[in-house]
Structure 1
Amino acid sequence: MNSTNEKEVIVLENVTKIYGHNSQSSVGVKDISLSAELGELLLILGPSGSGKTTLLTLIAGFIEPTSGSINIFAQNINKYSPKSYRN
């Protein structure tokens, strides 16, 4: 995936979200990479507990990934807090 493509609106690179710590940890999503171009329709399908809501919450910027990067319009949103979106 090339995050410099001007048509790419959303780019996730090796995104992982782990909840909790050590023996009490739970994997929300593991090593997800995807890109969506302007005008492209993206469907997220999977059974209950597969990480769909976690993935959308990560893309929305409401939670931070444990690892990996999320870029929207070529801006890495990992460095922004949800509060900064409102200002």
Structure 2
Amino acid sequence: MRWNKYTVILGAILLSGCATTTPALEAHSPNFGKAVAQNIAAQRIAPTAKDKADTFIPPNRARQKAAREAYENGTVKEPISVTTTGDE
């Protein structure tokens, strides 16, 4: 029984070492979480009938063929770098 008491006390002392006095997210960037908000905004449902009508883009067979040929020839353009929060 004595051994269990010491184990509990030692466990409480060790767990108290994990406690902090500052909030867990205080050390993060002020932009923390903005990427998720940006992704949610990009994937939202179109709210108006006009927006819903503009979501279908018919395929352009000539552009598809040109893209496939550029890929096969190794002449694909380098993509432009994009960020979610405007930070560089």
- TM-score bracket, normalised by the shorter chain, equals under 0.3
Larger Rg: 2
- TM-score (ref. length: structure 2): 0.20
Structure showing the higher helix proportion among its residues: 2
Higher relative contact order structure (alpha carbons within 8 Å, sequence separation ≥ 6)? 2
TM-score under structure 1 normalisation?
0.20
